[in-house]
Structure 1
C-alpha cells in the first residue's frame, strides 16, 4: 500500500520537474528552504511546471515542504529533473565567431531552442561529449548568466589568464572558468596556464 501511494505521488511530478542553475552565494539563505545541489559556486535548484504551452512556461520553485508532501527524496527529484529538463529545454549550439590567439579559434554560444536555461545543458547526460565530438576538441566553458554560456574550443592551459580576465573577473553569475576534457568526460574547474 505504501509503495502504491509513493508511486502515485511520483506520478504527480513525472515530467513536471526540471532544474536550473543560480549563483550559490547570492542564494545562500534560500538554500536552507529548498532541495539543491551545489556545483562549483553554482546551485542547481528544482522547479515544478504549472503551465507549459508553446507561448508560456510558468513554474514554481520546489521547496523542502513540497518534497515532504510528495513523499520523495532529493535524489528521486534529481532523477526526474534529469529526465525532464532536456525535453523542456532542447540544447542549441551556435558558432558566434572566432577569436585570435595566434590562430583563429572558434567561439560558441551554448543555449536552448527557446533561449532560456542554457547553463542547465552543461549537466545533460552525454551532451558535452557530443559537443566535443562535433567541434573536435576540448573547450573552456564560461557561464555568463542562467540562459547561456560561451564555449571556447582550445587546449586547456592556453590563454587561461586572458579568458579569466575577459570573461570571469567581475562575472556576477559565476566567476569560475570550467573546462571539459573529452578524454576525462568531466566538466571541472579549469587549470591555470602552465608555467613555461
Structure 2
C-alpha cells in the first residue's frame, strides 16, 4: 500500500478504534509544520475541542512499510495517541489567552533561520547570527507523556497586547526556571551515560567505578556540553541571560561553539589547538552522519569573545581579528613615521638681534 492509500485508510478506519464519544468527531489529514520539520498528520477533533494533537502519519507509515506493524496495528497506535492528550492541553483550561498566567510558562527554542524562514514570517523571533530564537508556551510537562507546547505566533502576541521585547524579556525569565541549564564536560556526560547503561546491565557500583576509571577518554575530552535538565531543545540554554559569560568564566576565556543539535551545543576553548575550519568540518560530518535532519541546527561554528562580549560566526570573528591586527600595524607604522618626522625636522627658535 502506498503512502496516500495508507493515510486515507487510517482516516477512514480511526473512529472504529475510538470510544463512542468520538463518533461525531471530525477527522482530517493535515500538513503539519514545526520548527525543522514538516509532515503529513492526522487530527481527530471533537465538537468544541479547541486544541488537538497531530499524529505523525509518516512515522507510522515507515513502520508499516518496513513490515514492523500491520495496518490494524497502525490504526490502533494512532487511536491511542489521539486519546493521550495530556490534562491541561485544552487552551481554555490553560487560560492561554491570559498573558499574566501564560508568561510564566514561556520558554525559548533555537532553530536554523534559513530552513524555517516560512514559519518565521508568522511568529515573533530574534535572530542571533543565522539562528532564530522563538517563543513557546509549555502547555504541560510530564515525565511519562513528555512536553506539550505551542509556539507563540504574531496573532497570539497581538492578542496579548504586548511587544516582542516584552515577550522576549518574560521568556528569558521563565526559561531557566522551566528548563534549567546544565553545563558539564564531555567526560562527565560520557561517564553518566555509561554508568546508566551499566546499571541497566545489572553491574554493581564497585565494578562500574573500576571500569569508568580505566577509560582515559572520560578524562581527556576538552569539550563542554551545554543543554538543559530535560535534554530537550537544550541548545537554547546557551542564550539564557549571562550564560555565555558564565561559560567563559569556567573555561578561562574565549571559546568556539559547536551546534551539536537542537538539543545541545558543545563548546571548545579557543586555545589555538584547533582552527574554526577544522571544527566546522567536524560539525558538518557529524550532522550528515549522526544527527537526524529534524534535529540538525546548522553546520556553522560560532565564537564567543569574552572580552568584547560578542557572539558571532567563527569566520566573522577570524576576519574581525585580522582586521584589528592590520589596523594595529597601521597605527604603529603611522606612529613610527610621525616620530621619525619629528626627529628629522629641526625645531625653529625665534631670536632677536641686539646691538650695543
For this structure pair, what is the TM-score category when the shorter chain's length is used for normalisation? Answer: 0.7 to 0.9
Q: Name the CA distance, whole Å, in 2 between partners of 1:43 and 1:85.
A: 16
Correspondence 1:89 to 2:179: yes
The residue correspondences of 1:71-150 to structure 2 (distance < 5 A) are: 71-97=161-187, 106-150=222-266
SS of the residue corresponding to residue 125 of structure 1 reads: coil
1:180 to 304, 325, 338: 304
Q: Would the aligned equivalents of 1:22 and 1:43 in 2 still touch at CA under 8 Å?
A: yes
Of Structure 1 and Structure 2, which has the larger fraction of its residues in strand?
Answer: 1
Q: Distance in 2 between matches of 1:156 and 1:186?
A: 19
Tell me, in whole angstroms, the C-alpha distance in 2 between the residues paired with 1:161 and 1:64. 38
Tell me, yes or no, if the aligned pair for 1:108 and 1:151 is still in contact at 8 Å. Answer: yes
Give per-residue Cα distances to partners, 1:20-56, cap 9 Å, x unaligned. Answer: 0111111111111111112211111111121134553
Question: What's the C-alpha RMSD, in Å, of the aligned pairs?
Answer: 2.5
Q: Relative contact order (alpha carbons < 8 A, sep ≥ 6): 1 or 2 greater?
A: 1
> 2:249, 2:115 → 1: CA distance?
35
Structure possessing the higher radius of gyration over alpha carbons: 2
Matched residues in 1 for 2:126 and 2:249: separation? 28
In structure 2, the gaps of 5 or more residues are: 1-96, 188-219, 288-295, 323-356
Unaligned runs of 5+ in 1: 1-7, 98-103
Once the two structures are TM-superposed, the CA of residue 88 in structure 1 deviates from its matched residue by 1.3
Conserved? CA contact 1:89–1:117, under 8 Å: no
User: How far apart are residue 14 of structure 1 and its match?
Assistant: 2.4
TM-score (norm 2): 0.47
SS in 1 for 2:253: coil
Select the residue among 116, 119, 122 that pairs with 1:27.
116
| 8 Å contact kept, 1:168–1:177 | no
